[in-house]
Chains A and B, each alone.
Chain A
Amino acid sequence: MTAWRPAAAATLLLAAAAGCGGSGLHAPDRLSDGSTPPPVPAVLEGVHGAVMTGTRVLRGQDFEAEPAVDCIKDVPGGAPPAGVEAVAVDGHTLTFATADRQRLVACDGAARAREPAGRWCGTASTKWLNGGRIEDPRLDLANCLTAGRATVAYAWVVPAARARWLVVDHDHYREVYDAGSPFPVRVSTTEGIDDATSSATLHVRSYDASGKEVGDETVNAQVAG
């Protein structure tokens, strides 16, 4: 009888762990716009708890329709030739380069905003340097909220060379972004935010088209400029 109790407890613990997926990671079944996430690329099947973000490349007339038209209305030079819209779990973003390709601009969106001001709750802009680099991730955490009123932070991340996918670690899942465009990836999160220093910490890994990890980086971003 006394030997049975520890064995039963261990069995229960194992069952509980199995029910939670073992790794403690659980991919969300909805993105921030309520849509079902696209399938995770087969080459990333080894990434546990992965959820794929939605990606749409915008060109030409796409910028004449909402929500893009509201994003570019104040940008000098008019509609850009191309942009990338990413729909993630906590927020969605639109990134494009200005017509002269000297600057990157992002509009940041979420389910709610502290101060509603249109379709987008935040913006960011930075110089776009040679080699696709940027000087600063342009952290934005001032105004965007999830439906549950959690602060959403946004930052640009430059994937490693040869990266096809960018994976962002969250507490309970891993978020996969398409890194196939020439732009840095604008990621969003409600985790790793430090209100006292107006900063955020992100752990990201880059994978090439074959699913091989080609980069592993902790990004410390601070509101600036």
Chain B
Amino acid sequence: MIRRIPAPVAAFAAALALSLACAGAAWAYHTNFTGAYCNYAAPDYTNYFTRDGSMTVALRARWEGYQWGGGCWNDDDVDQSPGDPVERSDTRGEGPDCSGFTFKVWREDLDTSNQGAWQWGMLRNVHGPYSAASFLGGAGAPNDTYPKSALIRMDALASTDHVGMIYARNADGSDQIIEAKGEAYGVNIWTRTYRGSSAFGGVRRVGWDA
């Protein structure tokens, strides 16, 4: 004998199944890397900071993930949070975004009026107050716009939507840029022609000791 399920019960069951399916799908994105591994430790002030030192900081993020609005990563060369929805700052994944990466590598202060240098730990979850557009405009005491032709390693090229730092210059005039490229790519070094693009401007972190 087949019993018919009352319509309200069937509707409730369907809604429950759908909500559980949706919750499962959402949870798959949320590795909660920042909640599990990141911290809010105070940074260490440094009175001597160099381009080589910042390059070392940057290279530790190579092969790690990308997180919109993020700034926390480890150094195991694996993206712990692949496939997060793009441009969502609440997905708590591993890695920086482009401007958070630049802020941390350039060892800047949360106070935009302070040029001082701070060593942020890799697992310190911090993005900083600058977007790519802010860097492009030279916003903040540590940042200045700079002629593109004169940029050297660890200077940056920024547009309203993206910022990356110069790792090396190629013989053909293009640059190797170390950057947090996007959710599907993470952080790495790519050959770019930002220097020749009218959308990009030059930015320099001021105050390098060497």
Contact = CB atoms under 8 A, between A and B. Distances in A.
B137 A114 contact: no
Interface string A196-215: 11100000000000000000
Nearest to A224: B69
B129 A142 contact: yes
Contacts of B86: 135
B127 A224 contact: yes
B61 interface: no
B15 to A, nearest CB: 23
A222 B140 CA distance: 17
Contact of B87 (A115, A117, A136, A141): A136
Contacts of A223: 69, 99, 127-131, 134
Interface string A114-156: 1101000111110000000001101111110000000000000
B82 interface: no
A6 interface: no
Contact of A198 (B40, B87, B127, B133): B127
A222 B127 contact: yes
Given A114-B141, A140-B134, A225-B99, A105 B111 contact: no
A135 B87 contact: yes
Contacts of B143: 115
B89 A222 contact: yes
Contact of B132 (A76, A143, A222, A225): A225
A100 interface: no
Contact of A115 (B131, B138, B160): B138
Contact of B141 (A115, A121, A125, A225): A115
Contacts of A114: 112-113, 139-141
Contacts of B140: 114-115, 142-143
Most chain A C-beta atoms within 10 Å of own C-beta, residue among B87, B128, B136, B160: B160
Nearest to B68: A224
Contact of B131 (A117, A135, A138, A220): A138
A142 B139 contact: yes
A117 B86 CA distance: 31
Contacts of A121: 139
Interface of A: 74, 76, 105, 114-115, 117, 121-125, 135-136, 138-143, 195-198, 220, 222-225
Counting from the closest, the 9 A-B pairs by CB-CB distance are: A224-B69, A135-B87, A143-B139, A142-B134, A125-B160, A142-B139, A222-B69, A222-B89, A123-B133
12 contacts: A76-B198, A105-B160, A114-B112, A114-B139, A122-B137, A125-B133, A140-B133, A197-B127, A222-B89, A225-B69, A225-B97, A225-B132
